[in-house]
Structure 1
Amino acid sequence: MPPVNSRSRVAVVTGAAAGIGAAVARMLASDGYSLALLDRDGVELSSVAAELAVTYGGEIVTYVVDVTDRDGVDMAIESVVERFGTIDALAHAAGVLDTGAVLDSDPSVWRNVFNVNVFGLLNVMQSVGRVMRTRRVGSIVVVSSNAAGIPRIGMGAYGSSKAAATMLVRTAGLELAGDGIRVNVVAPGSTDTAMQRSLWVDPNGDAGAQAVIEGNLAAYRLGIPLGKLATAADIADSVHFLLSDRAAHITMQALYVDGGATLKA
Structure 2
Amino acid sequence: MATTGGGEAGIAGRIALVTGAGGGIGAAVVEALVSAGAAVAAVDLDGPGARKVADGLPGRVTSFTADVADPAAVARVVDDVERSLGPIGIGVSAAGILRPASVCDTTDEDWAAALAVNATGVFTVLREIARRMVPRREGALVVVGSNAASVPRMGMAAYAASKAAATMLARCLGLELAGSGIRCNVVSPGSTDTPMQRLLWTSDDDAARVIAGDPERFRVGIPLGRIADPADIADAVVFLASDRARHITMQNLLVDGGATLQA
| TM-score, structure 2 as length reference | 0.94
The aligned counterpart of 2:213 is: 215
The aligned counterpart of 2:50 is: 45
Give structure 1 stretches of 5+ with no counterpart. 1-6
AA aligned to 1:259 is G
Q: How does 1:219-230 map to 2 (within 5 A)?
A: 219-230=217-228
The aligned counterpart of 2:8 is: none
The aligned counterpart of 1:17 is: 22
Give the Cα–Cα distance (whole angstroms) in 2 for the partners of residues 235 and 85 of structure 1.
26
Shift in Å, 1:84: 2.8
| TM-score, structure 1 as length reference | 0.93
Q: Deviations over 1:131-181 (max 9, x none)?
A: 111101000000000000010111111101111110000000000111100
Give the Cα–Cα distance (whole angstroms) in 2 for the partners of residues 90 and 80 of structure 1.
11
Query: What is the RMSD computed on CA atoms of the aligned residues?
Result: 1.0
Q: Where do 4+ consecutive residues of structure 1 move more than 4 Å?
A: none
Secondary structure of 1:233's counterpart equals helix
AA aligned to 2:47 is G
The aligned counterpart of 2:31 is: 26
Q: Deviations over 1:10-49 (max 9, x none)?
A: 1000000000000000001111101111001111111110
Once the two structures are overlaid, the 10-residue window that deviates more, 227-236 or 98-107, is 98-107
Give the Cα–Cα distance (whole angstroms) in 1 for the partners of residues 110 and 202 of structure 2.
21
Give the Cα–Cα distance (whole angstroms) in 2 for the partners of residues 33 and 107 of structure 1.
40
Give the Cα–Cα distance (whole angstroms) in 1 for the partners of residues 36 and 53 of structure 2.
16
| Structure 2 residue 246 is matched with structure 1 residue 248 | yes
The aligned counterpart of 1:168 is: 169
Shift in Å, 1:97: 0.7
Q: Deviations over 1:226-258 (max 9, x none)?
A: 000000000000000000000000000000000
Once the two structures are overlaid, the 10-residue window that deviates more, 104-113 or 156-165, is 104-113
Shift in Å, 1:91: 1.1
Secondary structure of 2:29's counterpart equals helix
| Structure 2 residue 106 is matched with structure 1 residue 101 | no
Shift in Å, 1:208: 1.5
The aligned counterpart of 2:9 is: none
Aligned-pair identity in percent equals 51
Give the Cα–Cα distance (whole angstroms) in 1 for the partners of residues 46 and 157 of structure 2.
26
Give structure 2 stretches of 5+ with no counterpart. 1-11
